[in-house]
Structure 1
C-alpha cells in the first residue's frame, strides 16, 4: 500500500478534541427506537450513529435485522439530529442500498472479512467512493486476512479506510465474549500507523460492566476511536442486550476516560523511561536465552524418547506442568490467561523440536 498517509485525512477532518465515538443500537428495531436513541446521543461526544440493518446471526431463527426499511430511519435520524450515520454491509446489494440512502460510513463485519471473495465483491461495488469504509477484524486471529481486506479496498481506490478491533473467537474459556488479543491490533497499527484504529468494546466484552476498562485500555494503546453499542432500554434490546449501555452511561464513560499524551518532553521522564527500557531489553535478552536453553533440554528429552520408541506427548506430565505454572504465576502477579498462553506456546515449540528429532 503506497501513500499510506492519505488514509488518515477523513478522520482528521472531523477536528475532534477527543477520540471519535460511534454509538447506537446493535440493531435498528423500530423507527421510534432509532430516533429516540439518536436524540439522546446528539449532544454527547458521539459523532456517528450506528445501527445494524442486516444482522448476520451465527444461527438461524434469531432476529436478523429489519432490512432496507431501517435505512430510512437512519436518514430521518440524520436529518433531525445532524449526526453522521453508519451501518454494516455484507454484500454488493447492501452497498448499493446504503449509498442510495446516503449512509456516511460503511463497515464490514467480522464474518465478512474472513472471505476474500466477498471482500473483493464489496470492494468492486465501492470502487472509488470517498465515503469512509471500516473493516472489522476477522472472527479468528488472522492478521493476514485483516490486512488483505484493507489492501483489497485500497486497490479499489478507496482511500478513506479504517479498521475496527472487535476481538477474536476462541474455544478457551475467558471473561470476554471475544478475546482482545491486543498484540494483533498493535501489530496492524505498527504496520500502518496512519490507518485509523477503532475499538468495538461491546463485542469484546459481551457484557456491559467491563466496557469502560476496555475503552481505557484502547486509549492507552493510542486507538483513534470507539464504537459502543448504545440503547435507550438495553435490557430489552432485540439483540445483544447484555453488551449494550444507555446513552447516559456512555456520557459518564467519556467523562471518566483518561486521554493520555503519546510522549512527554520532560527530561526527568525521558531519563527514567530510557533507564527502564534498558532494563526491559536486558530482561528480554535473558528471556530468549532461557527459552533457548529450555528447548535444548527438550531436544535431549527427544533423543531419550527416540531411543526407547516413546511418544512425544505425555498428557499427564503436561497437565501437571500447566497446573503448577498457573499457581506459580499467580504468586508473581501473572494472570492465568497469560500463563496458559505462554506455556502452550512453549509446549508447542518443544513438540516441534522433539518431532524434528524423531523424524531425523
Structure 2
C-alpha cells in the first residue's frame, strides 16, 4: 500500500496539515445544519464540514439520522458555503446516495469497521469510483489487524486516497474517556502503514467537551495529520452526543490553542543535537538488549536446576518479590512505576516460557 496518497494530494485539502474537520454529530434540520456550518466557517478556517446523515445507534428507538433528505440539505450547505463535505457511510446504498449528492469525502464508522462483510460491501460499491477519499475509523474493539483489514479492503477497491481515523476503543474499564485512546494501537497501525494519514476524533475519545482540547493536543504531539471535532450551534440540545459537541466559537478557541509542532526541521544545529542524543539512545538500547540476553541465559540455568531438582517453574513468592521490589526500586530513580510493572511482567512471562521449555526437555 505504498501508493496511498498523502493528504496534501487530496483535492479537498487546500492548505498543508494538520487538517481540521468540523460539524454536527447529526443533521437534525436544514436550518440547524446550515446555521451550524455557517457559524463554523465564520469562526475559523477549516478543511471540510462533517455531518451524520445516518446514525448507527446501540438501541432501537434512538434518533438514527435523517437519511437521504439530510444529503439534500448538506448539498445546499456545500453550494452556499463553497466548502467540501464529508459523511459516514455504512452500506452500499449509503455510498451511492452520498456520491449522488456530491459528498466529497466518505468515512466509515467504528461499528462498520468491526465487520469485514460490511466493509467488503462498501468496498464493492466503491470500485470504479475515482478521486473520492475514504477515511476509516478504528473498530470498536482494540484490534489493529481488523483496522488494517478494513483499510486493505478499501484499497483493494482501487481507492488510494485513504486515511485512518482514531476514535478510541470501547472497554469495560471505567475511565475519564468515553473511548480509551490506546495511542499505542494507532502508532502500531502507522508503523505498519507509514504513509497512511491519521486523523484523530477527540470528540469520541473524550466524550465530554472539556477533554477535547487535551486529546487534540496529544494527537498533534504524536504527529497526527488532523482532527475531526463535532460542533453544534446549540450542543446542549443536540439530538445525539450532546455532551461531546462544542459550539463553533469554542471550536475556534480549541484549534487556536492547540500548539502545532513540526515532525522535522531543516535547522542544522537542531538536527545535529538530535542525532547526538539518538546515538546515545541507540547505544543504551544495545546495552539493554545485551543485559536482557545475559538475564535470559541465567533464566535457562535456573530452568536446568529446577528440572534436575523436580521444582515447579512458577513460584508465586518469587514473582511477588520481583513485581513489588523492582518497580519500587525504579520509582526511586524517577521511573514510572506502572511502566516498570508492565516491563517486568513481560520479562517474567518470557522467563516462564523459557524455563517451561527447559524443564520439559529431557536432560542430555
TM-score under structure 2 normalisation?
0.84
Larger radius of gyration: 2
Secondary structure, counterpart of 2:107 in structure 1: strand
Contact 1:11–1:196, Cα closer than 8 Å, also in 2: no
Contact 2:12–2:84, Cα closer than 8 Å, also in 1: no
Residue 55 of structure 2: aligned partner: 55
CA distance in structure 1 between the aligned counterparts of 2:322 and 2:204, rounded to whole angstroms:
33
Are the structure 2 counterparts of residues 264 and 3 from structure 1 closer, same or farther at C-alpha, using a change threshold of 3 Å? closer
Secondary structure, counterpart of 2:196 in structure 1: coil
Residue 135 of structure 1: aligned partner: 136
Contact 1:9–1:160, Cα closer than 8 Å, also in 2: no
CA distance in structure 2 between the aligned counterparts of 1:173 and 1:328, rounded to whole angstroms:
29
Q: CA deviation at 1:277?
A: 0.7
> Aligned-residue CA RMSD in angstroms?
3.0
Secondary structure, counterpart of 2:10 in structure 1: helix
Contact 1:113–1:137, Cα closer than 8 Å, also in 2: yes
Residue 95 of structure 1: aligned partner: 95
CA distance in structure 1 between the aligned counterparts of 2:332 and 2:57, rounded to whole angstroms:
42
Question: CA offsets, 1:269-296, max 9 Å, x none?
Answer: 1222122111111222233334444545
Residue 28 of structure 1: aligned partner: 27
Contact 2:198–2:224, Cα closer than 8 Å, also in 1: yes
Are the structure 2 counterparts of residues 33 and 333 from structure 1 closer, same or farther at C-alpha, using a change threshold of 3 Å? farther
Contact 1:22–1:228, Cα closer than 8 Å, also in 2: yes
Aligned length: 358
Secondary structure, counterpart of 2:164 in structure 1: strand
Residue 177 of structure 2: aligned partner: 176
Contact 2:26–2:239, Cα closer than 8 Å, also in 1: yes
CA distance in structure 1 between the aligned counterparts of 2:295 and 2:253, rounded to whole angstroms:
49
Secondary structure, counterpart of 1:157 in structure 2: coil
Contact 1:8–1:195, Cα closer than 8 Å, also in 2: no
Residue 124 of structure 2: aligned partner: 124
Contact 1:8–1:196, Cα closer than 8 Å, also in 2: yes
Q: CA deviation at 1:210?
A: 2.6
CA distance in structure 1 between the aligned counterparts of 2:315 and 2:170, rounded to whole angstroms:
26
Secondary structure, counterpart of 1:42 in structure 2: helix
Q: CA deviation at 1:350?
A: 3.7
Q: CA deviation at 1:320?
A: 6.8
Are the structure 2 counterparts of residues 242 and 318 from structure 1 closer, same or farther at C-alpha, using a change threshold of 3 Å? farther
Residue 312 of structure 1: aligned partner: 314
Q: CA deviation at 1:97?
A: 2.0
Q: CA deviation at 1:177?
A: 2.9
Secondary structure, counterpart of 1:223 in structure 2: coil
Contact 2:313–2:355, Cα closer than 8 Å, also in 1: no
Secondary structure, counterpart of 1:123 in structure 2: helix
TM-score under structure 1 normalisation?
0.85
> Gaps spanning 5+ residues in structure 1: where?
none
Matches within 5 A, 1:209-224: 209-224=210-225
Residue 150 of structure 1: aligned partner: 151
Q: CA deviation at 1:52?
A: 1.9
Are the structure 2 counterparts of residues 344 and 237 from structure 1 closer, same or farther at C-alpha, using a change threshold of 3 Å? farther
Contact 1:24–1:230, Cα closer than 8 Å, also in 2: yes
Question: CA offsets, 1:222-278, max 9 Å, x none?
Answer: 322111111222233333233222211111122122222332333321222122111
Question: CA offsets, 1:61-88, max 9 Å, x none?
Answer: 5443333332223223223322222111
Residue 289 of structure 1: aligned partner: 290
Residue 46 of structure 1: aligned partner: 46
Are the structure 2 counterparts of residues 333 and 58 from structure 1 closer, same or farther at C-alpha, using a change threshold of 3 Å? farther
Residue 13 of structure 2: aligned partner: 14
CA distance in structure 2 between the aligned counterparts of 1:330 and 1:235, rounded to whole angstroms:
44
